[in-house]
Structure 1
Amino acid sequence: MADEGQVWLITGTTSGFGRRLVDQLLVRGDRVIATARSLDKLKDLEARPESPVRLRCLQLDVTAAQDVINCTVQDAINDWGRIDVLVNNAGFAMPGLLEEAGAEGAMHQFDTNYFGVVRVTTAVLSHMRERSFGTIVIIGSRSAWKADIPGVGHYAASKAAVHAYGETLAAEVARFNIKVLIVAPGLFRTEGIHTAPPYPGAHIPMYDPVRERVLARFADLRARTREDIGDPEKAMRVLVDVVKGQGKAEGKKWPLFLVIGEDAEEDVRKHGRRMEGLMEEWGSVTRDTGWDTL
C-alpha cells in the first residue's frame, strides 16, 4: 500500500500543523483530502499543481451534525475509494478563567476539540473496520499534563479528554487492525498560536490581577522569536515518519503516545515525577483501604 501512496484525511488544514502536514505528505507522494470549515481558505491549496491528481479539498466543520459529517466523509472516501489515515487536527485554544467561562465556555471549547474528534472518528471508523485497516491520529497537547496554568483550564481539559478517548479507542479497535496515535506537541510557532480571544463569559473583578497575567503571558508567547519555539514543519515530518514507519521511526515499535518537543517531554516527565512523589508520600494513608479479614 505504501508504494501507491496512502490516502490521508486531515481536519483543520488552513494553517498550522494541518497545513504543514499537507505539504509533507504531498512531497512524499501520498494523496491528501484537506478539509476546513471554509473552502475559501483552501483556495491556495486547490491552485497547487498536485490538485486534483493527489489533492482534494473538502468543506468540513467538525462541529456539524453527525449525519452531515458522515456524508462529507463518504464524499472523501468516494474520491480514491479509501481513507488510510485520519488526522484529527482541527482545534483551538480558548483563553479564559474557569469560573468566568463557566459551563458554556467549556462546552464551546469541547465542541471542537473533543466532540469534533469523536464525530469525525465515528464517521471514518466503519470504513476502516470493513477494510480491517487504518490509522487514526489525534492531535492532543502536552497541556493535558501541564494544566496548572491559569487561563488554559478548559483547553487542557479538552485535550486530556481526547487523550483518554484515544487510549480507549486504541483498545477497542486493535482487533480490526486499526492503529491509534495520540500526538502531544509542546509549543510550536504556528500562525494561530494563542490568537483566539478570551471567552466572553462573566466578568468577576476579583480575578482582574490573574486575568491580566494570563493575557500578558499569551501576548508574550505570540511575541517570541521563531528560535524560541518549535518548528511545526519538523514536528509534522516526525509525525509522518512515525505513521509510515520511515526515517528515524523505522523499525521502532508503534507508540500510542507521541510527545513532540523538548518542552513537552520535560512537562510530561515532571508530571510523572510529581505523581510518583505524591503516591510515595501518601501511600501509607491511601493503600490500606481493602476489606478487613476476619
Structure 2
Amino acid sequence: METPTSTERVWLITGTSSGFGKRLVPSVLARGDYVIATARSLSTLGFPPSTHLRLLTLDITSGLQSISQTITEAIAIWGRIDVLVNNAGYGEKALIEEGGSDAFRRQFETNVFGLIDVTVAVVPYMRERREGVVVNMGSRTSWMAETPGGGPYAASKAVVRSFSETLAIELASFSIRVVLVEPAAFRTEQIFAHPYFTDNPISAYDALRARSQSIYENIDGKQRGDPVKAMELVVDVVRGEGKARRRVKEEGKEGVEYLPLGRECVEAISGKFKRLEGVLEEWGEVIVDTEFQVDVKA
C-alpha cells in the first residue's frame, strides 16, 4: 500500500455520494493527495479504483461513540487525517408553524450535531500532530433566509458559521486551520430531494406553501453555480495553490477563513451588511445608550 509523503495530504470527506462531496473526491485525487470518502452506504459511491482512495461507511447521525470508532479505522489506513471536510448534510423544507421544532431538530441532527460529532472525533488526532485543516460547508442561505420553507436549513447553516468561528479561535494555537465554505445555488443532484413537509397543513398558509414549493421545484437544474469549479477552488484554498496561492500567502490571518462561493452569495452577504450598517447608522446613539453611567470622579 502506498504511503503518503509529508507533502501529500490525507483528506476525510463526509457525504461523498452526491453533491459537492462527489465532485470534491476526484478534484483532490487529481492533485495527488489521498482521500477517505465516506457515505451512509458505500453502494451509492461510484468512484474509479485508486491506490489513493479508500471508502468507509459513516452515518454522521450515529452518535459520537460510533463515529469515533469509524475515525479510528480511518486513521489506521494511512496513519493520519490532514484535512477534514464536513460536507454531509441535507435541506429540510417546512414552514415554521407547520413543521415546528420537530423540523428543526431533524435538520440540526444532521447539519449541526452530526458535523460537530465528526469534528470532535477527528480534531484530537490533528491536535496531537499540531496541524490540520477543518473545512465546514455552510451556505449562502444563512445570510439570506427569506425563502419561505427554508427556515430549518438556513438556521442550521447559521449555526455552522458561528461554530466555525469559535472553533478557529480554539484551535489556532495548535496550527489547525478552519475554512468556512458558503456556497450559493450550485447545480448538484438531489439538493432538493428531501420532500417538503406537508404533514401538518394549516389552511392559512396554503398559498404561501404552494409558492414556496414552486420556488424549489423551478430552481432545480437551473442553478448558475458549477460544483466542479467550486470544489477545485476549495482544493486550491486548502493546498495554498492555484487561484488561492497569493491570498493564502499574503493574508496568513488567524481565525476562520471565509470562502463564499457564487455571485448570489456575494449579493446576499453585501446586502446583509448594508442593511445592518443602515440599522447602526439610524440607531447608533440609542444602541450605545444602554450602559451603566460611569462615574468619572471615581
Q: TM-score range by the shorter chain?
A: over 0.9
Normalising by the residue count of structure 2, what TM-score does the alignment of the two structures yield?
Answer: 0.93
Match of 1:178 in 2: 176
Q: What are the within-5 Å matches in structure 2 for residues 233-244 of structure 1?
A: 233-244=228-239
- After TM superposition, the structure 1 = structure 2 runs for residues 16-95 of structure 1, keeping only pairs within 5 Å, are 16-42=19-45, 44-45=46-47, 48-50=48-50, 53-95=51-93
Instruction: After TM superposition, give the deviation of residue 199 of structure 1 in Å.
Output: 2.7
| Alignment: residue pair count | 286
- Write the distance in 2 (CA, Å) between the matches of 1:92 and 1:49: 27
Instruction: Give the distance between the partners of 2:126 and 2:166, measured in 1 at CA.
Output: 17
Tell me whether 1:194 sits opposite 2:189 in the alignment.
Answer: no
Alignment of 1:200-219 (within 5 A): 200-219=198-217
1:77 and 1:104 mapped to 2: Cα distance? 35
The equivalent residue for 1:267 is: 268
Displacement after TM superposition at 1:49 (Å) = 3.3
Structure 1's 2 and 138: CA in aligned 2 closer, same or farther, altered over 3 A?
A: farther
Partner of 1:137: 135
Query: Which AA in structure 2 matches 1:116?
Result: G
Does the residue aligned with 1:136 lie in a helix, a strand or coil? strand
Displacement of 1:192:
1.5
Q: Which residue of 1 aligns with 2:226?
A: 231
Q: Give SS of 2:163's match.
A: helix
Q: Go from structure 1 to structure 2 and tell me whether the alpha carbon gap of 1:6 and 1:208 turns closer, same or farther (over 3 Å shift).
A: same
Map Cα deviations across residues 100-130 of structure 1 (whole Å, 9 max, x no partner): 1111110000000001110000000111111
Larger displacement relative to structure 2 (284-293 or 160-169) = 284-293
1:251 Cα deviation after fit: 2.8
Asked whether the 8 Å contact 1:105–1:201 carries over to 2, the reply is no
| Structure 1 residues 111 and 272: alpha-carbon distance in aligned structure 2, compared to 1, 3 A threshold | same
Partner SS, residue 199 of structure 1: coil
Change (3 A) 1:223 1:34: closer
Secondary structure (helix, strand or coil) at the match of 1:12 reads coil
Task: Look up the equivalent residue of 1:276 and give its one-letter code.
Answer: E
SS at match of 2:165: helix
Q: Summarize deviations over 1:120-150 as a string: whole Å, max 9, x none.
A: 0000011111110100000000111101221
Gaps (5+ residues) in structure 2?
A: none
Superposed CA RMSD in Å reads 1.4
In 2, are the aligned partners of 1:114 and 1:158 still within 8 Å (CA)? yes
- Residues 188-236 of structure 1, C-alpha deviation per residue, up to 9 Å, x if partnerless? 0000122210135421111111100000000110152xxx511000000
Contact 2:134 2:176 in 1 (8 A): yes
Kept after mapping to 1: 8 A contact 2:29/2:35: yes
**SS of match in other structure, 1:250:** helix
Normalised TM-score (structure 1)? 0.94
After TM superposition, give the deviation of residue 292 of structure 1 in Å: 2.5
Deviating above 3 A after TM superposition, structure 1's stretches of 4 or more consecutive aligned residues are: 1-4
Q: Which runs of 5 or more residues in structure 1 are unaligned?
A: none
Q: Distance in 1 between matches of 2:95 and 2:32?
A: 44
Paired residues of 1:15 and 1:192 also in contact (CA < 8 A)? yes
In 1, Cα distance between the equivalents of 2:228 and 2:125? 30
Q: Retained in 2: the 8 A contact 1:102–1:201?
A: no
Conserved? CA contact 2:63–2:114, under 8 Å: no
Offset at residue 3 of structure 1 (A): 6.2
* 1:153-168 superposed matches below 5 A: 153-168=151-166
Tell me how far apart the structure 1 counterparts of residues 87 and 243 of structure 2 sit (CA, whole Å): 23
Residue pair 1:32, 1:56 contacting (<8 A) in 2 also: yes
After superposition, the C-alpha distances for 1:72-109 in whole angstroms (9 at most, x for unaligned) are 00100000000000000000111110111111110000
**Secondary structure of 1:117's aligned partner:** helix
What's the CA shift string for 1:231-271, capped at 9, x where partnerless? Answer: 00000000000000001111322561100111111111000
